[in-house]
Amino acid sequence: MLGSTSTVLPCGQGRDGGHPMTHAAIGLCGLDAPQSAARRIVRKTLAGKADGEYTDDVVLVANELVGNAVEHAGAALDISLDVYAWGVTVQVRDCGEDTAAVPGNPPAADEDDEGGRGLFLVDALASAWGVQRDSKGKRVIAIFLYRAGDAD
């Protein structure tokens, strides 16, 4: 299930034949700072492949997805990043089964809440995003299409 209204090229259907040009993944279990590790892998993977603003958007979304996994599922299991000719996908997997975070309809945060805005950021910055169950829990996927001038 994907959120947002942007046109999406699903994995396997990209203009480059569907194969990522670059793939990176790290396990996050047991790390003292999983969000920091996620930010590092995104910056390292996108270095020289995308401009700073685009990279910042992907970093922020990855940070939010890992933070949500830690807060709501107890831990993020891993993060993977694939760079295609058409854009980037970020996937964060956790052992939680709650898929109530429905893309396109993030829960509203009260004005005084310190949290609760992460999915609004994900929805605003990613071209599309979705939640899939898998054998170990769930996977949250964010897709970022390149805009003119994003790719280096």
pTM to 2 decimal places = 0.80
- 11, part of any domain: no
Task: Give me the tens of pLDDT residue by residue for the chain, a chain 152 residues long.
Answer: 444 333 333 444 444 448 899 999 999 999 999 999 999 999 999 999 999 999 999 999 999 999 999 988 888 899 999 999 999 999 999 987 776 654 555 555 556 555 556 888 899 999 999 998 888 889 999 999 997 666 66
Beta carbons within 8 Å of 44's beta carbon, 6+ residues apart: 24
- Read off the CATH number of the domain in which 90 is found: 3.30.565.10
- 82, part of any domain: yes
Range of the domain at 123: 22-145
What total number of domains does the chain contain? 1
Beta carbons within 8 Å of 53's beta carbon, 6+ residues apart: 150
Measured between alpha carbons, how far is residue 18 from residues 9, 15, 83, 126, 149 in Å? 9, 7, 10, 19, 21
- 16, part of any domain: no
Q: Which of 86, 110, 123, 108 is nearest to 3 (CA)?
A: 123
- 119, part of any domain: yes
